[in-house]
Each structure stands twice: as structure tokens, then as C-alpha cells.
Amino acid sequence: MVTASATASASASSSAAPILMGWDGDEKPHVLAVDDSFVDRRIIEKLLTNSACKVTTAENAHGALELLGLADGQQNFGNTVSKVNLIITDYSMPGMTGYELLKKIKESPTGKEIPVVVVSSEHIPTRIEKCLEEGAKEFLLKPLRQSDVNQLRCHLMKLGNPSDEGMVCMGR
């Protein structure tokens, strides 16, 4: 994966700490990870913290929407999280799927700018296509590796930073 920015790193080794591109020292990117599996939530959390991200997890789509302040008829915004720079969601979840969550996020005026990545343990091309069509930045297969997560950093949204216009991520 190559970025077009002048500070592009060479393809990072999976064990090396990824180069923080344009992030201030104290400001860690905040990722919301959604997955109904305890095991997978713990693993994705570790992969993300290894990649110098701050992580919030949700165990289902509805919980994720509440954290984003996007749930239907949401009254209580006490638990909403601030400044999410990336959402990673599992596809197969009970209740609302990752695809449906993606749609909901993309339909909302506040949510639609947040990059969303969908992950799944199943390789189903039609599923992948429809997620990408709906605006997912990437569709990754589980189990995720450190290298997969490190590469996601190019999708992280730097809120209100026009200098990111020039950055381009090539697909996997």
C-alpha cells in the first residue's frame, strides 16, 4: 500500500511501529471497533493500541450508533464518544449487520465523513462489493493481522485538516 504524500513511509514491516503521519504527539487517533465476539474485540483492541490508536469497542451495531450519537430516537447523549477517526466493524452481527451499520453511518450528516472499514471471516465477493459500494473504505478478512491494522492508518480521518486532501490510499 502506498500513500502519495511526501512523507510516505516505505512498506512498513509488520513489527515496526507505524510512522505517525501528520498526527501530533499527544493526539492519538480514535478508532471505534464493533464486533459481537469477545475474543475478536480483545484482539482488535490490542492490534489497534499497538498501532498507537485510542480504542473504544462496541458489541453490536446499536451500541455503536449510541456511542456515535446516531441511534434512532436517541435522547441520552451522555455516553457518546468524541472525535472518532475510523470505524471498524464486523459484518456478521446479530440484530443489525455491519453492512446495515455502514449504511446508517453513511446516511447521517455527522457520520458520513467517518471512514468505515468492514471485516468478515467469510470471503463472499457480492458481500464485499456491496460494502464498498455503500462507501466502506476497505473490506478485510479475519483474522486480522498487525500489518492489516497498520495499513488502515492511511484511512484515518484527521478532522478539519485540509492538508489531508492530497493523501491517497491505494487498495490492497
Partner 1 sequence: MYYTCICMYNPQRGGRRCNESIRSVENTKTKKMSAVKLESETMADGVSQLQKQLVDYTASLFDEAFLDEQFNQLQQLQDENNPDFVVEVVSLFFKDSERLVDELTKALDQQTVDFKLVDKNVHQLKGSSSSIGVQRVQRACIAFRDCSEEQNVEGCLKSLQHVKHEYSLVKNKLETLFKLQNQLLAAGGPLPR
Stretch that binds partner 1, among 19-27, 56-64, 95-103, 143-151 (CB under 8 A): 143-151
- Which amino acid, 121? S
Residue 80 binding partner 1, by CB under 8 A: no
**Subset of residues 81 to 140 that bind partner 1, contact rule: CB under 8 A:** 92, 94, 121
Pattern 17-56, binding to partner 1, x per CB under 8 A? -------------------xxxxx-xx--xx--x------
Tell me which residue has cell 493481522: 145
Rounded least distance, CB 131 to partner 1, Å: 18
Rounded least distance, CB 66 to partner 1, Å: 23
Q: Quick check: 108 and 52 in contact, CB under 8 A?
A: no
Q: How far is CA 145 from CA 10, 15, 51, 79, 133, in A?
A: 18, 11, 11, 30, 25
Q: What is the signed CA dihedral for 111, 97, 148, 53, rounded to 10 degrees?
A: 40
Residue 13 binding partner 1, by CB under 8 A: no
The residues binding partner 1 (CB under 8 A) are 15, 36-40, 42-43, 46-47, 50, 92, 94, 121, 142-143, 145-146
